[in-house]
Amino acid sequence: MTSTSTVLPPAPAPQAPEPAPAPATRRRVSRRAAILRSWQLYVLLAPGLIYLLIFKYWPMYGAQIAFRNYNPASGFTGSPWVGLMHFERFINSFQFEELLVNTLTINTVGLLVAFPVPIVLALIVNQLSSRRFKKVVQSVLYAPSFISVVVVVGMIFLLFSPGAGIVNNVIELSGGEPIFFMGDPEWFRPLYIGSDIWQNAGFSMIIYLAALTAIDPSLHEAAKMDGANKFRRIWHIDIPGIMPVVTILFVLAIGNIFNLGFEKVYLMQTPLNLETSEIINTYVYKAGLQQAQFSYSAAIGLFNSVLNLILLVTFNYVAKKANQSSLW
């Protein structure tokens, strides 16, 4: 009897495992895949990014003329470098103190007076029980924000005119003497701040009303069952609920305190009220465009922006240390 033996084929040699992709490569692949999955969102985001790059970041290249004696024929890099000469000239000028005081006074007083107004309006409107009346009040308060600055200033000149203005007519009927409001430096700040509140308080009120709608209604229901009146509910529920929004907007307002609205101030200026109406922004316009002092005006503008940045970072740090909402 013969036996046959089966010869098995040799086992394949073990292959070395393929090396795993590096972490950086994996991150690039995953990021690229995420962008491709959400390409529609990036298309929507592109116009905003392009706007920021062209109108916000690219002009920073021209800020170097603040450190040069800029000559349009020589260009940015061809103009001679003068360092901090223009900054020293502005700080040592006789107008520096007046410009700084006027800008800070109008903006600081305006911030202290105008900032709480939309908060109070939002809290009052939020308590209105009639939905139809609530919509009417919102529309009336919000409507002035659609009026252009030029029209608002024209209304101010007409209402406070010494001859035909309604305000002076009422003063004369009351037995008083007419007041030249637009020519009196003492009246510039009240008119500017008051008209600013009338025009912009309604828009800011909408922001706080949106924040109030995010508050859980069950908190008010529980407070009612505990016997809390409207004032107590506003103080202990509504105000703490909108405090993060209030803090963020306040920090942003502080960081913009030196950027007082140029258009309105310039339109309200007259030769008689320059004592209180001349601010940094209007001075930059006159020095840069009317007098063609490009480097000098750029230095003033850069100085203004640096002060705003310092205030923004400082108050954001204070808000963060106080355990309040912050920008970063």
Q: What is the pLDDT of residue 1?
A: 45
Q: Give which of 124, 156, 139 is closest to 203, Cα–Cα.
A: 139
Structure tokens at 267: 């339109």
| pLDDT for 139 beyond 80 | yes
C-alpha pair distances (Å), 28 with each of 22, 23, 24, 34, 41: 10, 9, 6, 10, 19
Question: Per-residue pLDDT averaged across 73-100, rounded?
Answer: 89
Distance (Å, rounded) from C-alpha 208 to C-alpha 57?
A: 31
Which pLDDT band, with edges at 50, 70 and 90, does 153 fall under? very high
Which pLDDT band, with edges at 50, 70 and 90, does 261 fall under? confident
Q: What is the pLDDT of residue 268?
A: 92
Q: What is the pLDDT of residue 197?
A: 92
| pLDDT for 9 beyond 70 | no
DSSP states of 37-101 as a string? Answer: HTHHHHHHHHHHHHHHIIIIIGGGGGGGGGGB--BTTTHHHHSPB-TTHHHHHHHHSTTHHHHHH
Question: Per-residue pLDDT averaged across 182-196, rounded?
Answer: 91
| pLDDT for 2 beyond 80 | no
Q: What is the pLDDT of residue 33?
A: 82
Q: Which of 114-123, 154-163, 169-178, 318-327 has the weakest average pLDDT?
A: 318-327
Q: Which of 9-13, 115-119, 153-157, 275-279 has the weakest average pLDDT?
A: 9-13
| pLDDT for 169 beyond 60 | yes
Contact status, residue 231 vs residue 310, Cβ threshold 8 Å: no
CA angle 94, 96, 98 (to 5 degrees): 90
Share of the chain above pLDDT 70, in %: 91
Beta bridge partners of 68: 81
Which pLDDT band, with edges at 50, 70 and 90, does 227 fall under? confident
Burial 46-55, CB ≥16 within 10 A → b, else e: eeeeeeeeee
Which pLDDT band, with edges at 50, 70 and 90, does 12 fall under? low
Q: Residue 291, Cα to own-chain centre: how many angstroms?
A: 29
Which pLDDT band, with edges at 50, 70 and 90, does 11 fall under? low
Distance (Å, rounded) from C-alpha 155 to C-alpha 149?
A: 10
Share of the chain above pLDDT 90, in %: 32
**What's the predicted TM-score (pTM) here?**
0.80
Q: Is 155 helix (H, G, I), strand (E, B) or coil?
A: helix
Q: What is the pLDDT of residue 89?
A: 93
The tens digit of pLDDT for each residue in 28-65 reads 667 788 888 888 988 999 999 999 999 988 888 888 89
Average pLDDT value over all residues in the chain: 86
Which pLDDT band, with edges at 50, 70 and 90, does 299 fall under? very high
